[in-house]
Structure 1
Amino acid sequence: MQDIGDVAAAFRTARGFGSSPLYGRLLAVVAADRALLELAARTRPGQQPTFALFGAVHHLLLAGTPDPLAEYYPSVAGAAARPVDGGTGLAFARFCAAYSDRIASLLGTRLVQTNQVQRALVLRLGLALLRRTTSAPVCVVEVGCSAGLNLRADRYAYTVGGTPVGDHSSPVHIGVDVPDTDPLPDLDRLPEIADVVGIDLAPPDLTDADDRAWLRALVWPENSHQAAQLQAAMAVVAADPPRVVAGNATEIGPTVAATLPPGLPRLVVHTATRIHVPAEDRPAFDAAVAAFGVDGPMLHLALEDDHLVAPSGRSGWGLTATDARGSRTVAVADGHLAWLEPLPAMNDLA
């Protein structure tokens, strides 16, 4: 159970919902409705109540729960979906009241585990940056990896700033708008991967239909391309899943780090993960990440800072790189990686 005041603030101040007019409207609806806030407060501690509540409702609608609210969801109604209007908030409130027990059950048992496949570019970028500085095999770690889809970043096709890279035969295609690719490393020149491991509190099982359905529900209703991308990536990864360890990174991080081949460089990545860690636990989270650099040189990439402005003036998330020289912001990107603007510090990695 979360503090209702904190929940209200989360809905009132939420950012980054620009690609979902539906959720953009519903943020204000929930923030002004005591009953909806009390329901959203059932979200597990540390989890973002905005994503959790919207995901739970979406999950029920995608499963076929009959209700007029479904008419507003393009993911359910398709091209015939109703545009957001004066009745949207009332329909949402009525749905939540009618199915509050089922929604509360999802909020109490599920985690916000969005596998935004576009973010696989962060991992591929990290590999290419390491290859620019070393020819050694690399160990790859993702903290908060969900089902591990982004750990297979080397299996996907990309178009980055108009240039195709990666596995062109892959059913997973990731297109990212990059206005200036000059600071980027060669994304087709990757190191050998010596080991791959992910850590997640409760990794979804890609062989379980309900787990797959939950991941699908976390994709916003208007984002049909992202949903198709997710389905394709789940098929690729289910055929050859990476090693994923269940547990809290603050507790098992050092143990997992000890399983990596000593001396080899390691790439440690997390994207929109630290924001789901309770504030009081973040120092321990940071220490757990740092532990991966004890037995080998480490490049740590984190897409977590959602209050930056790109050179173009777009509001985005900061991509921070930490290595032997310290930390610096090397790019600003859309939170879903629809676009990325590299900064000069991209060329300043040890």
Structure 2
Amino acid sequence: MDTSRWYRSFAEVEARGNSEVYEEWGNGVSEDPAVLALIDRLPEPRRQPNLIFGASRHLGAPVAPYASFRRWLRENWSAVEQLARIRTTQTNEAGRAAVLLPVLGLLKGPLSLIEVGASAGLCLYPDRYSFLYDGTKYLHPVDGPSTVLLECATTGSPPIPERVPDVVYRAGIDLNPLDVGDTDDMRWLESLVWPEQDHRRQRLRDAAALARVDPPHLVRGDLTAAVADLVRRAPQNTTVVVYHSAVLNYLTLTAREEFAETVRALPCHWIANEGLGVLPEVDAKLTASPEARRGKFVVSLDGTPRGLAGGHGQSLDWLDQTRTAPAG
């Protein structure tokens, strides 16, 4: 994608209404030939706005109007470029568990959860978080309210389960797994949280603290190559679920197709939470209007769209009233 258009789209579709700072920065970069020339020195996957802005803030960029950010970025570009080449946007948003929970609730437990592109594994704990849907419907772990509360606004009457899932196995795959006990890894994750979103930053800290008590089993590797082994390792007599959020967009179309073919052949369910255009065969089944889809992720179960979600799990528009799915 043309870098200027990429940053303009980021500003207008993703940042607008969520971060005034990033909206201004995205628009500013899109119209700035000198800064675009710097960013274009990176391989295309490394040019993404979240990565450049996150790396900049990790290195001390001021949360300030674009003119100040531009000046800082040009003066510190060498360090930003170096960091952008070794880090990735491993945004580990625990809030996304809120849009996955209704889909998990359709499946017969106990569950074995396997997340690909797991980052630090914070989305592997849907049984350890508390949830609040539409400001009225609370759902807590079996041992009582959690220190992490995930709020989600819904439409379309999603099938909110009566209890959190029974999770007996959790594992994740990432090219570069992050350690919830490593200070620099946690600083990097905080840098990826958008400037004004202090609630997400605190949620990240709380979720990481919870995960440190019982760290997830994360393996380093390519998601397509490693997923089958983790599925085989899952306990017998459990429903195995492979899932991911905002991960496949970092793969080429061919690699996405290879992953989809691999996971479909495994004895598991597959939940995807990805942006529009990432899984064309899933998008083709959508009946929602283009306006309803704008800026949303598509939540699907075994290739069938079930909902349209806010990128950080803040909303879920349910598309299917079916409340059952084949058990694994």
* TM-score of the two chains, using structure 2 as the length reference: 0.86
> Could you tell me which residue of structure 1 aligns to residue 3 of structure 2?
7
Q: What is the SS of the residue equivalent to 1:212? A: helix
Alignment of 1:54-69 (within 5 A): 54-61=53-60, 69=62
Match for residue 193 of structure 2 among 219, 225, 229: 219
Separation of aligned partners in 2, 1:281 and 1:236: 33
Residue identity matched to 2:251: V
> Could you tell me which residue of structure 1 aligns to residue 133 of structure 2?
160
Q: What is the SS of the residue equivalent to 2:172? A: strand
Alignment of 1:313-332 (within 5 A): 313=292, 315=294, 316-322=296-302, 327-332=303-308
Cα contact 2:124–2:216 (8 A) shared by 1: yes
Deviation at 1:54, TM superposition (A): 0.7
Q: What is the SS of the residue equivalent to 2:2? A: helix
Q: 1:279 aligned to 2:249?
A: no
> Could you tell me which residue of structure 2 aligns to residue 103 of structure 1?
80
**Higher mean C-alpha deviation, range 310-319 or range 196-205:** 310-319
> Could you tell me which residue of structure 2 aligns to residue 80 of structure 1?
none
Deviation at 1:47, TM superposition (A): 4.9
> Could you tell me which residue of structure 1 aligns to residue 22 of structure 2?
23
Query: Measured at CA, do residues 137 and 42 of structure 1 come closer, stay the same or move farther in structure 2, by a change above 3 Å?
Result: farther
Cα contact 1:42–1:108 (8 A) shared by 2: no
> Could you tell me which residue of structure 2 aligns to residue 341 of structure 1?
317
Q: What is the SS of the residue equivalent to 1:95? A: helix
Query: Measured at CA, do residues 92 and 349 of structure 1 come closer, stay the same or move farther in structure 2, by a change above 3 Å?
Result: same
Report how many aligned residue pairs link the two structures: 310
Cα contact 1:303–1:317 (8 A) shared by 2: yes
Residue identity matched to 1:102: A
Q: Percent identity?
A: 28
Residue identity matched to 1:170: S
Tell me the alpha carbon deviations over residues 231-252 of structure 1, each in whole angstroms, 9 at most, x when there is no partner: 1001110121111111111222
Separation of aligned partners in 1, 2:185 and 2:262: 27
Residue identity matched to 1:13: S
Residue identity matched to 1:166: H
Query: Measured at CA, do residues 43 and 205 of structure 1 come closer, stay the same or move farther in structure 2, by a change above 3 Å?
Result: farther
Query: Measured at CA, do residues 312 and 95 of structure 1 come closer, stay the same or move farther in structure 2, by a change above 3 Å?
Result: closer
Q: What is the SS of the residue equivalent to 1:155? A: coil
> Could you tell me which residue of structure 1 aligns to residue 50 of structure 2?
51
RMSD, aligned α-carbons: 2.4
Tell me the alpha carbon deviations over residues 263-308 of structure 1, each in whole angstroms, 9 at most, x when there is no partner: 63211111111112133422222234334x2xx3x32111113378
> Could you tell me which residue of structure 2 aligns to residue 261 of structure 1?
235
Which blocks of at least 5 consecutive residues in structure 1 are unaligned? 73-87
Tell me the alpha carbon deviations over residues 113-154 of structure 1, each in whole angstroms, 9 at most, x when there is no partner: 001111012443333110xxx3x5221111111100110121
Query: Measured at CA, do residues 116 and 245 of structure 1 come closer, stay the same or move farther in structure 2, by a change above 3 Å?
Result: same
Residue identity matched to 1:335: G
Query: Measured at CA, do residues 12 and 194 of structure 1 come closer, stay the same or move farther in structure 2, by a change above 3 Å?
Result: same
Which blocks of at least 5 consecutive residues in structure 2 are unaligned? 278-285
Residue identity matched to 1:303: N
Q: 1:303 aligned to 2:273?
A: yes
Q: 1:145 aligned to 2:118?
A: yes
Alignment of 1:235-254 (within 5 A): 235-254=209-228
Residue identity matched to 2:51: A
> Could you tell me which residue of structure 1 aligns to residue 180 of structure 2?
206
Q: 1:89 aligned to 2:60?
A: no
Residue identity matched to 1:33: D
Separation of aligned partners in 1, 2:160 and 2:69: 46
Cα contact 1:149–1:234 (8 A) shared by 2: yes
Bigger RCO of structures 1 and 2 (CA < 8 A, at least 6 apart): 2
Cα contact 1:55–1:218 (8 A) shared by 2: yes
Separation of aligned partners in 1, 2:59 and 2:115: 30
